[in-house]
């Protein structure tokens, strides 16, 4: 490989208790999560819990949950926690921003506390009890920070390893002891290949958003899969990957968009997208806005263009160095640069306070990706807005699935979109048009 040697060493994570437990407020729709219907398939599923106090968790963990500001479990937590505590494999699908991370972290930490952990510092090869993978660097880091909350004051040591950072630094982190390994798939394979991580002790394997992980020779373990979307082909794969008695939990509508996001689809052709973007950003002022585009080059180009128009923007994509990616995300989080132009690398999982708008300057190629992208707003019971620029020449294939997502989330379906769907489907009525009560000529 000719790629330059990566020397980036990320800054250490915050160490004081206040920073570790930093959080944002739940929104006014938080209690509405309870209105979602929940489907549970699989045999002998344990009953859901009603409160965090319903389990036999140790005091330290209970204290950490309350320090994190979680006073009541969300539906995905109510159902997943007892299933995981019962030792069952699980595939859980719940809308974006509804607390899937804690739904696996809390029971895994609870069981590790119950069973005791063994990893000791300065061993050549560490044997973690839990491995968590997620598809992007920023997301795995976020999961690691969340794990640090729940293990606070215990002897469980979480470690994070991800691409774009110096390997020798990561190895040093691992060698200091590792019970929960949070890793992106590439770095995970790399560190296993170097013999620094053994898999014999892995009791919990968590695939967050990871539709593409293959079995890498783990021993007897409990596998937990979480996502807001589970397309059918991934479900089929999961059947091979999970134990036969696994449980499938679906909160609300499988693969559905978060109903706290107000969705607006505008018909905008390629040439007018930039003007429309400026118009919208001028009307939203300093509100934090995430703009998705389809290429890395375009992300930089649009960010530059916005800066020239006096809109403080930055960009995040796979061609930026990890240091730059982290600075961009930090500037966006702090509000120093309230507009972040991104490729799909920022589509999944990122939990950033106060993102009020998501603009799909370019629509993604799949409806699942759309659902994840707009889920960066409207999190944890807060409301948000999503606007998409729909170009019928490039996005026609999305018309039909968009209609379904909009109607399932009780959003208005523009009439022109049903016409596009009708044309794209070769004159067949799109599925669901009847359901949303639209008139078709």
Ligand X SMILES: Nc1ncnc2c1ncn2[C@@H]1O[C@H](COP(=O)(O)OP(=O)(O)OP(=O)(O)O)[C@@H](O)[C@H]1O
Q: Which is nearer to ligand X, 103 or 268 (CB)?
A: 103
Residue 241 phi, psi dihedral angles, 5° rounding: -85, -30
Long-range contacts of 51-54 (CB under 8 A, 24+ apart): 52/106
* Site map 34..73 versus ligand X, x via CB under 6 A: -----------------------------------xx-xx
Supply the minimum distance, in Å, between the C-beta of residue 226 and ligand X.
7
Express the helix, strand and coil content of the chain in percent, nearest 5 each: 40, 15, 45
Question: Does the protein bind ligand X through residue 349 (CB under 6 A)?
Answer: yes
d(CA 69, CA 46): 26
Indicate which single residue of 260, 351, 362, 408 sits in contact with ligand X (rule: CB under 6 A).
Answer: 351
Supply the minimum distance, in Å, between the C-beta of residue 198 and ligand X.
29
Stretch that binds ligand X, among 93-101, 153-161, 310-318, 422-430 (CB under 6 A): 93-101
Supply the minimum distance, in Å, between the C-beta of residue 307 and ligand X.
28
* Site map 356..395 versus ligand X, x via CB under 6 A: -------------------x---xx---------------
Interstrand relation of 130-133 and 204-208 (parallel, antiparallel or unpaired):
parallel
Angle at 200 between CA 199 and CA 201, to 5 degrees: 95
DSSP codes joined into one string, 182-195: EE-HHHHHHHHHTT
Indicate which single residue of 102, 117, 145, 306 sits in contact with ligand X (rule: CB under 6 A).
Answer: 102
Tokens 């160095």 belong to residue:
321
Angle at 105 between CA 104 and CA 109, to 5 degrees: 120
d(CA 277, CA 391): 14
Supply the minimum distance, in Å, between the C-beta of residue 183 and ligand X.
17
Q: Which is nearer to ligand X, 41 or 66 (CB)?
A: 66
Indicate which single residue of 48, 75, 82, 99 sits in contact with ligand X (rule: CB under 6 A).
Answer: 99
Q: Which is nearer to ligand X, 255 or 338 (CB)?
A: 255
- Do residues 243 and 89 touch, judged by C-beta distance below 8 A? yes
Question: Does the protein bind ligand X through residue 136 (CB under 6 A)?
Answer: no
Question: Does the protein bind ligand X through residue 255 (CB under 6 A)?
Answer: no
Supply the minimum distance, in Å, between the C-beta of residue 279 and ligand X.
28
Indicate which single residue of 36, 64, 80, 101 sits in contact with ligand X (rule: CB under 6 A).
Answer: 101
- Do residues 290 and 342 touch, judged by C-beta distance below 8 A? yes
Q: Which is nearer to ligand X, 65 or 280 (CB)?
A: 65
- In the bound state, the residue with its beta carbon closest to ligand X is 99
Report residue 98 as tokens.
């509804």
Question: Does the protein bind ligand X through residue 150 (CB under 6 A)?
Answer: no
Nearest residue to 122 (alpha-carbon basis) of 170, 172, 52? 172
Q: Which is nearer to ligand X, 311 or 355 (CB)?
A: 355
Nearest residue to 107 (alpha-carbon basis) of 11, 189, 226? 226
Question: Does the protein bind ligand X through residue 23 (CB under 6 A)?
Answer: yes
Supply the minimum distance, in Å, between the C-beta of residue 441 and ligand X.
38
- CB atoms < 10 A from the CB of 231, how many? 15
d(CA 149, CA 161): 18
Using CB under 6 A, list all residues that contact ligand X. Answer: 23, 26, 69-70, 72-74, 77, 94, 96-102, 228, 349, 351, 375, 379-380
């Amino acid at each position: 490989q000719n790629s330059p040697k990566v020397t980036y060493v990320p800054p250490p994570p915050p160490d004081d208790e206040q920073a570790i437990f930093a959080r944002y407020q739940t929104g006014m729709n938080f209690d509405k999560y309870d209105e979602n219907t929940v489907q549970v398939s699989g045999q002998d599923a344990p009953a859901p819990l009603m409160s965090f106090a319903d389990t036999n968790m140790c005091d330290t963990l209970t204290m950490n949950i309350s320090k994190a500001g979680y006073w009541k479990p969300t539906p995905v937590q109510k159902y997943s926690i007892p299933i995981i505590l019962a030792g069952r494999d699980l595939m859980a699908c719940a809308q974006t921003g509804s607390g899937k991370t804690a739904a696996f972290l809390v029971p895994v930490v609870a069981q590790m506390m119950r069973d005791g952990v063994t990893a000791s510092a300065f061993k050549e090869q560490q044997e973690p009890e839990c491995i968590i993978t997620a598809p992007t660097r920023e997301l795995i880091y976020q999961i690691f920070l969340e794990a640090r909350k729940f293990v606070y004051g215990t002897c469980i040591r979480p470690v994070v390893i991800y691409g774009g950072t110096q390997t020798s630094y990561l190895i040093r982190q691992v060698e200091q002891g590792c019970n929960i390994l949070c890793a992106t798939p590439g770095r995970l394979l790399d560190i296993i290949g170097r013999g620094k991580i053994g898999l014999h002790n892995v009791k919990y394997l968590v695939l967050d958003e990871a539709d593409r992980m293959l079995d890498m020779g783990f021993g007897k373990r409990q596998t937990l899969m979480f996502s807001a979307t589970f397309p059918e082909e991934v479900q089929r794969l999961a059947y091979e990957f999970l134990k036969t008695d696994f449980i499938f939990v679906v909160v609300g509508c499988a693969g559905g968009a978060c109903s706290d996001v107000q969705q607006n689809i505008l018909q905008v052709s390629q040439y007018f997208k930039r003007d429309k973007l400026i118009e919208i950003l001028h009307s939203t002022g300093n509100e934090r806005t995430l703009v998705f585009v389809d290429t890395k080059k375009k992300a930089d180009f649009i960010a530059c263009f916005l800066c020239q128009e006096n809109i403080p923007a930055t960009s995040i994509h796979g061609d930026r160095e990890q240091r730059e990616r982290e600075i961009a995300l930090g500037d966006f989080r702090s509000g120093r640069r309230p507009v972040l132009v991104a490729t799909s690398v920022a589509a999944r999982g990122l939990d950033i306070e106060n993102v009020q708008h998501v603009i799909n300057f370019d629509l993604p190629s799949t409806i699942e990706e759309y659902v994840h992208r707009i889920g960066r707003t409207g999190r944890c019971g807060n409301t948000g807005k999503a606007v998409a620029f729909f170009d019928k020449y490039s996005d026609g294939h999305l018309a039909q699935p968009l209609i379904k997502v909009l109607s399932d989330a009780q959003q208005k379906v523009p009439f022109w979109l049903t016409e596009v769907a009708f044309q794209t489907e070769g004159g067949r009525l799109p599925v669901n048009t009847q359901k949303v009560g639209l008139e078709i000529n």
